[in-house]
Chains A and B, each alone.
Chain A
């Protein structure tokens, strides 16, 4: 009996060290909250935590060696505990509850780790096959529960699963999609507004993203009124 407990303990702590989080805050600007408390760069983060940013604030975190995430202002991101799935693979994930994030995944590490990374939102999930992408909720006049999602890929490929329609859409480098609330995901295409996104995660430079997501609804270069 004791042996059985020991094996379980050994498995959880040594063989499957995912719970032993190694999450580092690389940069913090403005007011960032964890369980309602303002945090600083030295604060320890763990899987299961939900990070919330205030106005004109952002935080860059490094999830072990497999991903760096920039959480923009007025955003909320939950760090999900890694889970073992079929075939011994590990599913790593984050849940975007509000706002927007830039994700830079290290595909090589994920492969070596036999793991995959998924970003979930209320209406769609993004399976990361690429390395860099941006995901954002867009303000909706129908309220927070009816927000659309916009996503674009800088490098590699991301598979977007629409939770309502169950459809899968592959989005390649340089393309973006809209997941309108309750509707089909749009066809991937180059989106003018994504050209000005600030993808930088270098704490020594300018990391603030100022692109207004509201323009996403309008592909200005496609407007024909006459």
Chain B
């Protein structure tokens, strides 16, 4: 099942272009995405503040600031709340006809701010029987509400992480994440975006962690003129985590 999902994420994204009134498709650009997170945590509570600059194909630059709180319900599960402010997102309704000329272009959205509120539930388990004590599997499901679109989205995230320890302290970890992003309102359950995310993180000190990752993003649109289109982006990410434990 997991292999099918991974396969699906990479190869199922060839949506046809119905007519010329849709963005052109290509193999996707390779872009760079820096991000930083500040994480405060103890055995029951997690606070997370983040900033990310994500560059997507078609010169789409998305800036995102997020605040997250998670509460540990039990040893395996957490519930969370998230507020994100994003600018530069492109939606179906942003593919517009330019001056009634018959030529369609993306609307300029760099200065448009959107707010996304989310509730999430995550379940984690040690994959001792499958891979070993150092492997953790997780499912994190979120319901997102985009205030600009007035739309609900469902975002299940499937992940697996390997942790390595040296003298009782985490040294590095390797991870893989897969996230389909589905619209719940308007067209129920339609796939809006798929992202696959893999990389490694190295703990420089107890407080600082740096990670490098590769992310494949496939966005899909269904335009009001009946056209469909998708856009792929290969993102090389670099992230700095600042960790405060036992707050």
Residues of A within 8 A of B (CB): 138-141, 186-187, 189-190, 192-193, 195-196, 211-226
Contacts and interface: CB of A to CB of B under 8 A. Distances in A.
A214 B163 CA distance: 12
Interface stretch (B86-94, B167-175, B220-228): B167-175
Nearest to A195: B126
Pairs of residues from A and B, 4 with the lowest C-beta to C-beta distance, nearest first = A214-B168, A190-B75, A217-B168, A224-B46
Given A215-B134, A218-B165, A224 B48 contact: yes
A222 B41 contact: yes
Question: Chain B interface mostly helix, strand, loop or mixed?
Answer: strand
Contacts of A190: 74-75
Contacts of B134: 215, 220
20 contacts: A141-B167, A189-B75, A192-B126, A193-B133, A195-B126, A212-B165, A214-B165, A214-B167, A215-B165, A216-B168, A220-B134, A221-B75, A221-B124, A222-B43, A222-B72, A224-B41, A224-B46, A225-B37, A225-B209, A225-B211
A223 B116 CA distance: 24
B43 A187 contact: yes
A212 B133 contact: yes
B200 to A, nearest CB: 11
Nearest to A216: B168
A220 B41 contact: no
A221 B143 CA distance: 22
A218 B48 contact: no
Contact of A138 (B46, B48, B168, B201): B168
